[in-house]
Structure 1
């Protein structure tokens, strides 16, 4: 029955104005098995990653902890997103509760819609923040050491959460609206092509795509800088342990987020701009693609670490504790740069000896005269 012909006291709430339960359930579209497996797998993965991150945090030098703090924020966000949204979906598939009886005022539906938007945008925004941190750490290391202490990094993570929360709360202020979605197990913002629904749909899509674009741009510049430092003519510049390892992890996080989220973000923008009807099957398909992001993210750090790679490929010649050790020319260039900074002058014979002497027999050069 149309909501406009109902008495005022019996008007259909806004969140049920498009799709009103009860529905005809189709197990081929949504199933408890799919939701349970994905939720359990994601929670276990993020729990393992959090334990590994916590262990690494206390063993890592203080200047390298900023990246671990961002990763910790990403793991916590992914785990909470799976726990909140997954528990609601699984409960529905197990009990098939009536949303209108349980939530006549749409509070529960609005909460789930906000959770979907919040936990969807947070990983993308955190990826852009991590790319910014790595960009500063590689291209402006001394500015980073002064401007990005651990407390400020934590503040950046909290700022990302606050920004995502503000965007998720916009439908409650009238910009967009949260609605029950088919097949009746979840709530999301209305992907419409009119008024505030159009504005919020484009906002969600553009924020996500912009975050991915920023991550791609900054990560590309950071990779080019690392290649120049390690292999180019300016390879006498500063280099720190674990830079390459962290960049590999960040690039994999960006690639996974792009593969998982771009189809959904582009689908939303294309649907509202074309003005065509919402194709629910494609929406559910791309939403499941996005769910994989929360499952695959933690495994990037669990597997892509030097200690794990040494076990997987023990015959490969791994650098001994520093990325600079993998590039002998870079190591010798740094040594020459250090000696010139100290005012040392070596003769040709001494220079020849220093080049053929094994690194284990070289006396370490004092670094304090060149510290900034």
Structure 2
């Protein structure tokens, strides 16, 4: 039976029943510098991204773009608060070397940090999935999206994501899982174990994160294919898709960063609890540092990958001339031929004949000779 499921011996609080401070391990001064530098870098990056987003929201008049930027704003605020809460606790421990047992004898502080780790870890993944759903409907069903997606509903969706992550983070306080002190004594996290309720919560945390990444990948792939067909089509009266291309590029980069940073930790947790092997703390710390990069790299996606910045870097990217696809005619023609051939297989003979006639250019007539 797991030690966390047994009543604590000698009046030891539950969060210290597995790892009880003080530990023999003495953190080096490099640990304090490492945590301080990464925390400061992440806070400054998210603060810059929030200022840029706020200016863009006040200037934009497109409903779909403002909806997407509200989701981005929620992501930036979540990453900023997550780094502010967790980094301040970790840096304070490395600087002062305080004793958790004396400072927090009733595990309130440890439970708060464990809840923060779970909440601010799941929120970016859930928001990324919500942004993928919003872009899927915005590209594939633009009319229904523009009439049924006001800003108030977008804000409500962001609040619902925060509420869902908060409910999951509160589960260990109700008995489903438990928060414990983790080595080297600077942080608290839920007990990754294959027994009892700890198994259920560990698997829930891992599956929710992996499911969000899978939903983002599936919906973003469909949205990109649809956007390429629209941009490379023969319809010259189509509305410009520059904003959609910019938003999809940013969303794909957010998805790639989240997948690279979070998949190792989520797979490691699922593999540990399903196989029943003892937890290897060195790999947990390694993959957790990988996941921390997500909060640092996310804001730079919007800071750097904007049309104004890309236009300064490469003046050839003249977005005002229509779609970015027109800058690459060979690629555009290739995709257009592929799209036409795929659409032609699903058309009837009458529709094919009509499409063929519409694609045939009328012969040019010479100008009349002047008398």
The TM-score normalised by the length of structure 1 is: 0.84
Contact 1:176 1:197 in 2 (8 A): yes
Structure 1: gaps of 5 or more residues: 334-346, 354-372
Determine the structure 2 residue equivalent to 1:57. 57
Question: Is the partner of 2:188 in helix, strand or coil?
Answer: strand
Residue 79, structure 1, aligned to residue 104, structure 2: no
Name 1:297's counterpart in structure 2.
298
Structure-to-structure mapping, 1:148-227, within 5 angstroms: 148-227=149-228
Summarize the Cα distance change of 1:101–1:137 in structure 2 as closer, same or farther, 3 Å threshold: same
State the 1:320 CA deviation.
1.2
Kindly report which structure 2 residues correspond to 1:14-163, keeping only aligned pairs within 5 A, or say none: 14-27=14-27, 31-63=31-63, 64-163=65-164
Matched residues in 1 for 2:83 and 2:266: separation? 19
Counting matched residue pairs gives 333
What is the rounded CA distance, in whole Å, between the counterparts of 2:124 and 2:222 in structure 1? 21
Partner Cα distance (2:159, 2:326) in 1: 37
Offset from partner CA, 1:90-112 (integer Å, 9 cap, x none)? 11111111101111110000000
Task: Mark the CA change 1:198 to 1:232 in structure 2 (over 3 Å): closer, same or farther.
Answer: same
Work out whether residues 229 and 235 of structure 1, in 8 Å CA contact, stay in contact via their aligned partners in 2: no
RMSD over aligned Cα atoms: 2.8
The TM-score normalised by the length of structure 2 is 0.84
Alignment of 1:290-329 (within 5 A): 290-314=291-315, 316-320=316-320, 322-323=322-323, 326=326
Matched-pair contact (CA < 8 Å) for 1:74–1:126: yes
Task: Give unmatched runs, 5+ long, in structure 2.
Answer: 337-360
Q: Which moved more, 1:281-290 or 1:224-233?
A: 224-233
1:116-159 deviation line (CA, Å, top 9, x unaligned): 00000000000000001100100000111112111000000000
- CA drift of 1:326 comes to 3.2
SS at match of 1:187: strand
Contact kept in structure 1, 2:70 and 2:154, CA below 8 Å: yes
Shift of residue 27, structure 1, vs aligned partner: 3.6
Task: List 4+ stretches of structure 1 deviating above 2 A.
Answer: 7-10, 25-30, 232-241, 316-319, 321-330, 347-353
Secondary structure at 2:180 match in 1:
strand
Q: For residues 74 and 94 of structure 1, what CA distance do their matches in structure 2 show?
A: 30
Query: Cα distance, 1:230 vs. partner?
Result: 1.1
Q: Distance in 1 between matches of 2:366 and 2:248?
A: 35
Q: Find the aligned partners of 1:320 and 1:298 in 2 and give their Cα distance.
A: 26
Distance 2:328 2:25 in 1: 64
Separation in structure 1 between the aligned mates of residue 163 and residue 322 of structure 2, nearest angstrom:
37
